[in-house]
Amino acid sequence: MIPIQHILFLGATLFVMGLMVVVVKRNAIMILLGIELMLNASNLNLVAFNTHHITHMDGQIFSLFVIVIAVCEAAVGLAIILNVYQFYKSSVPDDINTLKD
Amino acid sequence: MSGVLILFYFFGSVALLSALAILFIRNVFHAALLLLMCLLAVAALFVLMHAEFVGVTQILVYAGGVLTLIIFGIMLTSKIDGKAMMVKNNKWLAGMLAGLPMLFILITLLKQHSFQSSGKFMTGDAAIKQVGVTIMSDYVLAFEIAGLLLLVALIAAVVTATTSKKNDA
Protein backbone atom coordinates (compact mmCIF):
# COMPACT_ATOMS: atom_id res chain seq x y z
CA MET A 1 0.00 0.00 0.00
CA ILE A 2 1.51 3.29 -1.11
CA PRO A 3 1.23 6.04 1.56
CA ILE A 4 -0.96 8.73 0.04
CA GLN A 5 1.01 11.53 1.71
CA HIS A 6 4.11 10.62 -0.30
CA ILE A 7 2.16 10.72 -3.57
CA LEU A 8 0.88 14.16 -2.64
CA PHE A 9 4.41 15.39 -1.83
CA LEU A 10 5.58 14.08 -5.22
CA GLY A 11 2.67 15.80 -6.96
CA ALA A 12 3.37 19.10 -5.19
CA THR A 13 7.07 18.98 -6.08
CA LEU A 14 6.37 18.15 -9.73
CA PHE A 15 3.88 21.03 -9.88
CA VAL A 16 6.44 23.47 -8.51
CA MET A 17 9.04 22.18 -11.01
CA GLY A 18 6.57 22.87 -13.83
CA LEU A 19 5.85 26.34 -12.48
CA MET A 20 9.56 27.14 -12.27
CA VAL A 21 10.14 25.86 -15.82
CA VAL A 22 7.38 28.20 -17.04
CA VAL A 23 8.91 31.19 -15.23
CA VAL A 24 12.62 30.53 -15.78
CA LYS A 25 12.83 29.40 -19.41
CA ARG A 26 12.89 31.91 -22.24
CA ASN A 27 11.36 29.81 -25.00
CA ALA A 28 7.71 29.29 -25.91
CA ILE A 29 8.10 25.53 -26.34
CA MET A 30 9.77 25.17 -22.95
CA ILE A 31 6.79 27.00 -21.44
CA LEU A 32 4.47 24.43 -23.04
CA LEU A 33 6.61 21.67 -21.52
CA GLY A 34 6.23 23.27 -18.09
CA ILE A 35 2.46 23.45 -18.47
CA GLU A 36 2.34 19.75 -19.37
CA LEU A 37 4.38 19.00 -16.25
CA MET A 38 1.93 20.93 -14.05
CA LEU A 39 -1.10 19.17 -15.57
CA ASN A 40 0.59 15.83 -14.91
CA ALA A 41 1.18 16.70 -11.27
CA SER A 42 -2.50 17.51 -10.86
CA ASN A 43 -3.38 14.18 -12.50
CA LEU A 44 -1.18 12.43 -9.96
CA ASN A 45 -3.16 14.01 -7.13
CA LEU A 46 -6.51 13.10 -8.70
CA VAL A 47 -5.53 9.46 -9.11
CA ALA A 48 -4.06 9.35 -5.59
CA PHE A 49 -7.31 10.54 -4.02
CA ASN A 50 -9.24 8.11 -6.20
CA THR A 51 -7.71 5.23 -4.21
CA HIS A 52 -9.67 6.51 -1.16
CA HIS A 53 -13.00 5.43 -2.51
CA ILE A 54 -14.08 1.87 -2.80
CA THR A 55 -16.66 2.14 -5.55
CA HIS A 56 -16.31 5.54 -7.18
CA MET A 57 -13.99 6.18 -10.12
CA ASP A 58 -14.49 9.95 -10.33
CA GLY A 59 -10.81 10.77 -9.80
CA GLN A 60 -9.66 8.63 -12.70
CA ILE A 61 -12.34 10.07 -14.99
CA PHE A 62 -11.38 13.62 -14.03
CA SER A 63 -7.77 12.85 -14.88
CA LEU A 64 -8.86 11.49 -18.28
CA PHE A 65 -10.62 14.79 -18.99
CA VAL A 66 -7.51 16.68 -17.87
CA ILE A 67 -5.49 14.67 -20.42
CA VAL A 68 -7.98 15.62 -23.17
CA ILE A 69 -7.72 19.31 -22.27
CA ALA A 70 -3.91 19.05 -22.25
CA VAL A 71 -3.93 17.61 -25.77
CA CYS A 72 -6.14 20.46 -27.05
CA GLU A 73 -3.89 23.00 -25.36
CA ALA A 74 -0.72 21.50 -26.84
CA ALA A 75 -2.17 21.35 -30.38
CA VAL A 76 -3.47 24.93 -30.41
CA GLY A 77 -0.43 26.26 -28.56
CA LEU A 78 2.04 24.71 -30.98
CA ALA A 79 0.07 26.00 -33.98
CA ILE A 80 0.22 29.50 -32.49
CA ILE A 81 3.96 29.14 -31.78
CA LEU A 82 4.64 28.05 -35.40
CA ASN A 83 2.62 30.97 -36.73
CA VAL A 84 4.40 33.46 -34.47
CA TYR A 85 7.78 31.96 -35.41
CA GLN A 86 7.12 32.44 -39.13
CA PHE A 87 6.27 36.08 -38.53
CA TYR A 88 8.91 37.08 -35.97
CA LYS A 89 11.61 34.46 -36.78
CA SER A 90 11.90 33.90 -33.04
CA SER A 91 10.22 31.78 -30.41
CA VAL A 92 11.34 33.86 -27.43
CA PRO A 93 8.26 35.36 -25.78
CA ASP A 94 10.14 38.52 -24.78
CA ASP A 95 10.78 39.38 -28.45
CA ILE A 96 7.09 39.24 -29.30
CA ASN A 97 5.92 42.62 -28.12
CA THR A 98 3.80 44.12 -30.90
CA LEU A 99 0.21 43.34 -31.83
CA LYS A 100 0.51 44.64 -35.40
CA ASP A 101 3.38 45.44 -37.76
CA MET B 1 9.14 -2.82 2.55
CA SER B 2 7.01 -4.38 -0.12
CA GLY B 3 7.85 -4.58 -3.81
CA VAL B 4 5.13 -2.11 -4.77
CA LEU B 5 6.58 0.46 -2.38
CA ILE B 6 10.11 0.02 -3.75
CA LEU B 7 8.77 0.44 -7.31
CA PHE B 8 6.83 3.52 -6.20
CA TYR B 9 9.93 5.19 -4.77
CA PHE B 10 11.99 4.21 -7.83
CA PHE B 11 9.56 5.66 -10.38
CA GLY B 12 8.85 8.65 -8.16
CA SER B 13 12.53 9.52 -8.00
CA VAL B 14 12.86 9.03 -11.77
CA ALA B 15 9.99 11.48 -12.33
CA LEU B 16 11.43 13.98 -9.85
CA LEU B 17 14.98 13.82 -11.21
CA SER B 18 13.88 14.20 -14.83
CA ALA B 19 11.66 17.16 -13.88
CA LEU B 20 14.62 18.72 -12.07
CA ALA B 21 16.81 18.12 -15.12
CA ILE B 22 14.24 19.87 -17.37
CA LEU B 23 14.61 22.90 -15.11
CA PHE B 24 18.41 23.02 -15.48
CA ILE B 25 19.05 21.76 -19.02
CA ARG B 26 19.45 24.28 -21.83
CA ASN B 27 18.93 22.12 -24.91
CA VAL B 28 15.24 22.14 -25.87
CA PHE B 29 15.33 18.76 -27.60
CA HIS B 30 16.92 17.09 -24.56
CA ALA B 31 14.27 18.73 -22.40
CA ALA B 32 11.53 17.16 -24.55
CA LEU B 33 13.14 13.72 -24.18
CA LEU B 34 13.42 14.23 -20.40
CA LEU B 35 9.74 15.19 -20.31
CA LEU B 36 9.02 11.89 -22.09
CA MET B 37 10.90 10.07 -19.33
CA CYS B 38 8.97 11.94 -16.66
CA LEU B 39 5.63 11.16 -18.31
CA LEU B 40 6.44 7.45 -18.62
CA ALA B 41 7.47 7.32 -14.95
CA VAL B 42 4.18 9.00 -13.98
CA ALA B 43 2.32 6.43 -16.12
CA ALA B 44 4.08 3.68 -14.15
CA LEU B 45 2.95 5.38 -10.93
CA PHE B 46 -0.65 5.37 -12.21
CA VAL B 47 -0.42 1.64 -12.83
CA LEU B 48 1.01 1.15 -9.32
CA MET B 49 -1.98 3.06 -7.94
CA HIS B 50 -4.35 0.63 -9.72
CA ALA B 51 -5.40 3.17 -12.35
CA GLU B 52 -4.36 1.06 -15.31
CA PHE B 53 -6.63 2.77 -17.84
CA VAL B 54 -5.28 6.22 -16.99
CA GLY B 55 -1.73 4.87 -17.21
CA VAL B 56 -2.27 3.41 -20.68
CA THR B 57 -4.02 6.60 -21.83
CA GLN B 58 -1.08 8.60 -20.47
CA ILE B 59 1.38 6.57 -22.55
CA LEU B 60 -0.78 6.60 -25.70
CA VAL B 61 -1.82 10.25 -25.63
CA TYR B 62 1.12 11.98 -23.96
CA ALA B 63 4.11 9.91 -24.99
CA GLY B 64 2.63 9.05 -28.38
CA GLY B 65 0.80 12.23 -29.31
CA VAL B 66 1.78 15.33 -27.40
CA LEU B 67 5.51 14.60 -27.29
CA THR B 68 5.60 13.90 -31.04
CA LEU B 69 3.80 17.19 -31.62
CA ILE B 70 6.25 19.05 -29.37
CA ILE B 71 9.27 17.50 -31.12
CA PHE B 72 7.77 18.55 -34.47
CA GLY B 73 7.39 22.03 -33.05
CA ILE B 74 11.02 22.09 -31.90
CA MET B 75 12.27 20.97 -35.31
CA LEU B 76 10.10 23.49 -37.17
CA THR B 77 11.18 26.44 -35.03
CA SER B 78 14.91 25.78 -34.85
CA LYS B 79 17.24 27.53 -37.23
CA ILE B 80 18.35 25.73 -40.36
CA ASP B 81 22.08 25.70 -39.58
CA GLY B 82 21.85 22.41 -37.65
CA LYS B 83 23.00 23.70 -34.29
CA ALA B 84 21.04 22.54 -31.28
CA MET B 85 18.50 25.02 -30.01
CA MET B 86 19.60 26.49 -26.68
CA VAL B 87 17.48 28.52 -24.31
CA LYS B 88 18.57 31.10 -21.84
CA ASN B 89 17.48 30.59 -18.23
CA ASN B 90 17.74 34.17 -17.09
CA LYS B 91 14.76 34.49 -14.79
CA TRP B 92 16.14 32.51 -11.86
CA LEU B 93 15.16 35.09 -9.25
CA ALA B 94 11.56 35.22 -10.47
CA GLY B 95 11.46 31.44 -10.69
CA MET B 96 12.72 31.02 -7.14
CA LEU B 97 10.27 33.67 -5.89
CA ALA B 98 7.38 31.89 -7.60
CA GLY B 99 8.39 28.31 -6.87
CA LEU B 100 9.99 28.00 -3.46
CA PRO B 101 7.27 29.71 -1.36
CA MET B 102 4.67 27.66 -3.23
CA LEU B 103 6.56 24.44 -2.48
CA PHE B 104 6.96 25.44 1.18
CA ILE B 105 3.26 26.26 1.55
CA LEU B 106 2.12 23.08 -0.18
CA ILE B 107 4.40 20.82 1.87
CA THR B 108 3.49 22.41 5.21
CA LEU B 109 -0.24 22.29 4.43
CA LEU B 110 0.00 18.66 3.33
CA LYS B 111 1.89 17.78 6.51
CA GLN B 112 -0.90 19.18 8.68
CA HIS B 113 -3.47 16.76 7.31
CA SER B 114 -3.32 13.03 7.58
CA PHE B 115 -4.94 11.29 4.65
CA GLN B 116 -5.77 7.72 5.44
CA SER B 117 -6.43 5.35 2.62
CA SER B 118 -9.28 2.92 3.06
CA GLY B 119 -7.01 0.16 1.76
CA LYS B 120 -9.87 -1.53 -0.04
CA PHE B 121 -10.58 -0.43 -3.59
CA MET B 122 -11.38 -1.90 -6.95
CA THR B 123 -8.50 -3.33 -8.93
CA GLY B 124 -7.96 -4.97 -12.27
CA ASP B 125 -10.79 -5.69 -14.70
CA ALA B 126 -13.55 -4.58 -12.33
CA ALA B 127 -11.98 -1.11 -11.99
CA ILE B 128 -11.59 -0.66 -15.76
CA LYS B 129 -15.17 -1.79 -16.30
CA GLN B 130 -16.34 0.66 -13.65
CA VAL B 131 -14.45 3.50 -15.39
CA GLY B 132 -16.09 2.68 -18.72
CA VAL B 133 -19.59 2.38 -17.27
CA THR B 134 -19.22 5.65 -15.33
CA ILE B 135 -17.97 7.56 -18.38
CA MET B 136 -20.85 6.32 -20.50
CA SER B 137 -23.53 6.95 -17.87
CA ASP B 138 -22.83 9.67 -15.31
CA TYR B 139 -20.30 11.62 -17.37
CA VAL B 140 -21.72 11.10 -20.86
CA LEU B 141 -22.44 14.83 -21.40
CA ALA B 142 -18.91 15.80 -20.34
CA PHE B 143 -17.57 13.02 -22.56
CA GLU B 144 -19.42 14.32 -25.63
CA ILE B 145 -18.34 17.89 -24.89
CA ALA B 146 -14.74 16.70 -24.61
CA GLY B 147 -15.05 15.06 -28.04
CA LEU B 148 -16.45 18.27 -29.49
CA LEU B 149 -13.66 20.27 -27.84
CA LEU B 150 -11.04 17.99 -29.42
CA LEU B 151 -12.63 18.47 -32.86
CA VAL B 152 -12.75 22.25 -32.45
CA ALA B 153 -9.16 22.36 -31.18
CA LEU B 154 -7.83 20.26 -34.07
CA ILE B 155 -9.65 22.37 -36.68
CA ALA B 156 -8.35 25.51 -34.97
CA ALA B 157 -4.81 24.13 -34.97
CA VAL B 158 -4.96 23.26 -38.68
CA VAL B 159 -6.43 26.65 -39.61
CA THR B 160 -3.91 28.53 -37.46
CA ALA B 161 -0.96 26.61 -38.84
CA THR B 162 -1.90 26.90 -42.52
CA THR B 163 -3.00 30.53 -42.85
CA SER B 164 0.51 31.75 -42.06
CA LYS B 165 1.62 31.01 -45.64
CA LYS B 166 -0.86 33.55 -47.02
CA ASN B 167 0.41 36.21 -44.66
CA ASP B 168 3.94 35.75 -45.96
CA ALA B 169 3.00 36.10 -49.63
Contact: B66, A8; criterion CB under 8 Å: no
Check CB contact of A99 with chain B, cutoff 8 Å: no
Instruction: Name every chain A residue with its beta carbon within 8 A of the beta carbon of B92.
Output: 24
Contact: B161, A79; criterion CB under 8 Å: yes
Which ipTM did the prediction report?
Answer: 0.90
Mean of all residue pLDDT scores within chain A: 88
CA atoms within 13 A on the CB side of B40: 11
In this predicted structure, the answer to whether residue A43 has a pLDDT above a threshold of 90 is yes
Can you give the pLDDT at residue B169?
Answer: 46
Do the beta carbons of residue A82 and residue B73 sit within 8 Å?
A: yes
Q: What percentage of chain A carries pLDDT values higher than 90?
A: 50
B6 burial (CB, 10 Å; 0-12 / 13-18 / 19+) is exposed
Can you give the pLDDT at residue B117?
Answer: 66
- The total number of residues shown for chain B amounts to 169
Q: Measured between CB atoms, which of A17, A51, A64 is closest to B19? A: A17
Contact: B153, A6; criterion CB under 8 Å: no
Record the pTM. 0.89
What is the arithmetic mean of pLDDT over A68-72? 92
Contact: A87, B164; criterion CB under 8 Å: yes
Distance from the Cα of B21 to chain A's closest Cα (Å) equals 10
Q: What is the largest CA-CA distance in chain B?
A: 65
Contact: B22, A33; criterion CB under 8 Å: yes
Distance from the Cα of A95 to chain B's closest Cα (Å) equals 13
Do the beta carbons of residue A78 and residue B164 sit within 8 Å?
A: no
What is the arithmetic mean of pLDDT over A64-70? 93
Can you give the pLDDT at residue A40?
Answer: 93
In this predicted structure, the answer to whether residue A68 has a pLDDT above a threshold of 90 is yes
What is the arithmetic mean of pLDDT over A10-22? 94
Which amino acid is it at A39?
Answer: L
Mean of all residue pLDDT scores within chain B: 86
Q: How many angstroms separate the CA atoms of A20 and B20, rounded? A: 10
What is the arithmetic mean of pLDDT over A36-53? 89
Show the low-confidence residues of chain B (pLDDT under 50). Answer: 169
Q: Measured between CB atoms, which of B8, B16, B57 is closest to A67? A: B57
Check CB contact of A5 with chain B, cutoff 8 Å: yes
Can you give the pLDDT at residue B165?
Answer: 53
Check CB contact of B43 with chain A, cutoff 8 Å: no
Instruction: Name every chain A residue with its beta carbon within 8 A of the beta carbon of B160.
Output: 76, 79-80, 83
Can you give the pLDDT at residue B83?
Answer: 64
Contact: A82, B73; criterion CB under 8 Å: yes
Can you give the pLDDT at residue B127?
Answer: 83
Distance from the Cα of B5 to chain A's closest Cα (Å) equals 6
Which H helix or E strand runs over B132? helix B124-137
Determine the residue of chain B that is closest to A53 in CA distance: B121
B3 burial (CB, 10 Å; 0-12 / 13-18 / 19+) is exposed
Check CB contact of A95 with chain B, cutoff 8 Å: no
